[in-house]
Amino acid sequence: DTAVSQTPKYLVTQMGNDKSIKCEQNLGHDTMYWYKQDSKKFLKIMFSYNNKELIINETVPNRFSPKSPDKAHLNLHINSLELGDSAVYFCASRGAGTRAFFGQGTRLTVV
């Protein structure tokens, strides 16, 4: 069983569109994250949720809105996509005092 799964794996869309990425973990972890990895490979944290509550919001534009319906799911909705949003987005989960597990990533390409 995949511990952290996110869909879709690839997403190609036009500027101005709205899109969502879904993430689910079956590890029973309390905390989930969204990271953005740009072309320079840097893993930049975007959001962190703990038990469905937003804990970290790293000055991400309002066009990005995370939603956590329960502690096993953390989705990312992006409005009015821009060229600069093109990147790989990783979901991750973590329990207290343990390592983080990453999803397989979603490669978003805005054209």
Partner 1 sequence: GENVEQHPSTLSVQEGDSAVIKCTYSDSASNYFPWYKQELGKRPQLIIDIRSNVGEKKDQRIAVTLNKTAKHFSLHITETQPEDSAVYFCAATLTGTSYGKLTFGQGTILTVHP
- The contact set with partner 1 (CB under 8 A) reads 29-31, 33, 35, 40-43, 45, 48, 50, 55-56, 90, 92, 94-100, 102-105
| CA-only gyration radius of the chain, Å | 13
The least CB distance from residue 27 to partner 1, in Å, is 12
- In the bound state with partner 1, the residue whose beta carbon lies nearer, of 19 and 30, is 30
How many other CB atoms are there within 10 angstroms of residue 50's CB atom?
16
Residue 75 contacts residue 50 (beta carbons within 8 Å)? no
The least CB distance from residue 67 to partner 1, in Å, is 17
Give the sign of the dihedral formed by CA 50, CA 54, CA 56, CA 57: positive
Residue 93 contacts residue 32 (beta carbons within 8 Å)? yes
- In the bound state with partner 1, the residue whose beta carbon lies nearer, of 35 and 78, is 35
- In the bound state with partner 1, the residue whose beta carbon lies nearer, of 51 and 80, is 51
